[in-house]
Amino acid sequence: MTKKSAQNKALQELAGVAHSETTNKSVIAALKKRRQTKPSTDQLIGSILQGNITALSRAITLIESTNKNHSEQAHDVITGCLPHANKSVRIGITGVPGVGKSTFIESFGKHLSNSGKKIAVLAIDPSSSITKGSILGDKTRMEDLVKDTNVYIRPSPSGESLGGVARKTRETIILCEAAGFDTILIETVGVGQSETAVHSMVDFFLLLKLAGAGDELQGIKRGIIEMADSIAINKADGENIRSAKIAKVEFNRALHLYPKKESEWTPKVLLCSALHNKGIDTIWEMIDKYVSLTQENGYFDHRRHEQNRFWLIETIKDKLHADFFNNDVIKKELKHQIELIETQKTTPFAAADYLLNLK
Ligand X SMILES: Nc1nc2c(ncn2[C@@H]2O[C@H](COP(=O)(O)OP(=O)(O)OP(=O)(O)O)[C@@H](O)[C@H]2O)c(=O)[nH]1
Interface residues toward Mg ion, by CB under 5 A: 101-102
Binding mask 182-201 for ligand X (x = CB under 6 A): -------x------------
Return the residue of 56, 78, 99, 166 that touches ligand X, per CB under 6 A: 99
Return the residue of 80, 95, 157, 279 that touches ligand X, per CB under 6 A: 95
Return the residue of 73, 103, 156, 194 that touches ligand X, per CB under 6 A: 103
101 vs 154 by CB, closer to Mg ion: 101
Return the residue of 234, 263, 294, 337 that touches ligand X, per CB under 6 A: 234
What's the min distance (Å) between Cβ of 76 and Mg ion? Answer: 34
Q: Are 46 and 179 in contact (CB under 8 A)?
A: no
Q: Are 200 and 163 in contact (CB under 8 A)?
A: no
Q: Is 102 in the site for ligand X (CB under 6 A)?
A: yes
3-state secondary structure the chain: CCHHHHHCCCCHHHCCCCCCHHHHHHHHHHHHHHHHCCCCHHHHHHHHHCCCHHHHHHHHHHHHCCCHHHHHHHHHHHHHHHHHCCCCEEEEEEECCCCCHHHHHHHHHHHHHHCCCCEEEEEECCCHHHHCCHHHHHHHHCHHHHHCCCEEECCCCCCCCHHHHHHHHHHHHHHHHHCCCCEEEEEEECCCCHHHHHHCCCCEEEEEEECCCCCCCCCCCHHHHHHCCEEEEECCCHHHHHHHHHHHHHHHHHHHCCCCCCCCCCCEEEECECCCCECHHHHHHHHHHHHHHHHHCCHHHHHHHHHHHHHHHHHHHHHHHHHHHCCHHHHHHHHHHHHHHHCCCCCHHHHHHHHHHHC
74 vs 93 by CB, closer to ligand X: 93
255 vs 275 by CB, closer to ligand X: 275
What's the min distance (Å) between Cβ of 234 and ligand X? Answer: 5
Please give the Cα distance from 334 to 317 (Å, whole number). 19
59 vs 99 by CB, closer to ligand X: 99
Stretch that binds ligand X, among 162-170, 213-221, 270-278, 300-308 (CB under 6 A): 270-278
125 vs 171 by CB, closer to Mg ion: 125
Q: Is 207 in the site for ligand X (CB under 6 A)?
A: no
Q: Which does 99 bind (CB under 5 to 8 A by kind): Mg ion, ligand X, none?
A: ligand X
Q: Measured at CB, which residue is nearest to ligand X?
A: 100
Q: Is 235 in the site for ligand X (CB under 6 A)?
A: yes
Q: Which does 49 bind (CB under 5 to 8 A by kind): ligand X, Mg ion, none?
A: none
Q: Is 92 in the site for ligand X (CB under 6 A)?
A: no
Q: Is 209 in the site for ligand X (CB under 6 A)?
A: no
Please give the Cα distance from 206 to 188 (Å, whole number). 11
Stretch that binds ligand X, among 37-45, 94-102, 111-119, 339-347 (CB under 6 A): 94-102
Q: Which does 90 bind (CB under 5 to 8 A by kind): Mg ion, ligand X, none?
A: none
Site for ligand X in 299-328 (CB under 6 A): none
Q: What is the contact surface with ligand X in residues (CB under 6 A)?
A: 95, 97-103, 134, 189, 234-235, 237, 273-275
